Structure 1
Amino acid sequence: MYKVFVNDKPLFLTSVVEKETDFQLFLLESIDVEQLITKMFNNRIDKAFLYHPDEKQALRLFKDKIPVAKAGGGLVYNKRGEVLFIFRNGKWDLPKGGTEKNEEIEQTAMREVEEETGVKGLKVVNKLQKTYHVFKRNGVYKLKVTHWFEMVTNYDGKLTGQAEEGIEKVAWLKPGEIAPALKNSYENIKLLFEEDSVKQSR
């Protein structure tokens, strides 16, 4: 099952038909995706399932119905086991951004972390899951597919938030500070920490 966030509400791409209780189920092949997304953005639908018998095909079909933007981002640890966060639009987030022409996605992730936070000396140690969310730009809905990488660095210098990206603050958060920060974050960011919870407990 794939989980796509629309205005922080879950839209599941699924190959299993479940009995409807607190959600609405639609057939992916026949749904007007833009109409559904608009309803979710306007808080008229809180949770929806899009059904297709083949799960992998479901993601391809969904991507055919909405423009896709590819991005790379980093879950970055320093030598003290702290995690690099940015604060923007009133929420805690992780550094990420769109890929440039002829750029490998791993390079995108490292470049974006450095540009958005000022942190250098990054090394990718693990590929994490992809996250999916829908955003609106110039009146058009797009699906952002973010490829996440776990990174480490020994950088101990100044943290500089990229002002033109609206980043108000950059901070290394201690393990005990992460859970409170995630309460004021995005659902797709929380997913990464579910996957990475083993590391957090160290």
Structure 2
Amino acid sequence: MYKVFVNEKKLSISKYPEDVEKKFQYENFATLEIAIDLLENTSCPELNIYGDNLLQIWEDFSKLYRVIEAAGGVVSNKDEDVLFIRRLGKWDLAKGKIEKGESLEQAALREIEEETGLKELILEKYLNTTFHIYTERTGEKILKTTYWFKVTYVGNTAPIPQTEEGISEVSWKNKQQIMDEVLPMTFENIKLILADYWKSN
């Protein structure tokens, strides 16, 4: 199953129908266009498209967008606190676009280092991939695919926000702080990846 966030609303693409209020059996591109229109322009909170050939549906869906690939990490320290960045009033995890010739792992570590100033990082394992849709200033629609890794920080340096990227704060949060401060002020795909991270521990 694929879960894509459209304006922070979930579009699930699955082989079998999900237990949600609105669901469509996949027929063709029009099915996708109707679903996206409902999520973007109505109060519909969640939608499911299902069909036997899941890979074909996903391929068709991806053709509607320019795909940008990114990589990032859920970084923890020896106290099991998790590292967050704050940008435009929202808490997020360090991540960024994969550069030409980079592996996913190299991109994740580079982006964490650039956005937080931390260098002593050990990439542990792949966690999961998230998808969300946004529109560029030019009007071009983007499907952003982000590959997430579990990363451990073994140093003692204080993190430094990359202010030129609009990051105002970098902060370690324990689980209670994540529940109280981060989750109310973050994105749906970050909630998903945090859930995957906690399951993996």
- The Cα of 1:126 is off from its aligned counterpart by 1.1
Does residue 63 of structure 2 align to residue 59 of structure 1? Answer: no
CA shift at 1:102, angstroms? Answer: 0.8
SS at match of 1:183: helix
Aligned pairs, number: 199
Aligned to 1:29: 28
Deviation per CA, 1:67-100, whole angstroms, max 9, x where unpaired?
A: 1100000100111211100111211110111011
TM-score scaled by length of structure 2: 0.89
- Do the aligned partners of 2:71 and 2:104 also contact (CA within 8 Å) in 1? yes
Q: 1:104 and 1:54 mapped to 2: Cα distance?
A: 29
CA contact (8 A) 1:23 1:46 kept: no
Q: Does 1:189 align with 2:190?
A: yes
Corresponding position of 1:171:
171
Give yes or no for contact 1:76–1:152 (8 Å, CA) kept in 2: yes
SS in 1 for 2:29: coil
Give distance in 2, aligned partners of 1:198 and 1:16.
25
Identity %: 37
Relative to structure 1, is the Cα distance of residues 172 and 51 closer, same or farther in structure 2, using a 3 angstrom cutoff?
A: same
Gaps of 5+ in 1: none
Q: Which residue of 2 aligns with 1:92?
A: 91
RMSD: 2.0
- The equivalent of 1:41 in structure 2 is 40
Q: TM-score, normalised by structure 1?
A: 0.89
Q: Is 2:158 aligned against 1:162? A: no
SS in 2 for 1:144: strand
Match status 1:104 vs 2:103: yes
Cα distance in 2 for residues equivalent to 1:164 and 1:156: 24
**Greater alpha carbon shift after TM alignment, 78-87 vs 52-61:** 52-61
Deviations along 1:127-180, one digit per CA (max 9) or x if unpaired, are: 101001111112111111100000001122132111122111100112221112
1:199 deviates by 6.0
Other structure's SS at 1:101 match? coil
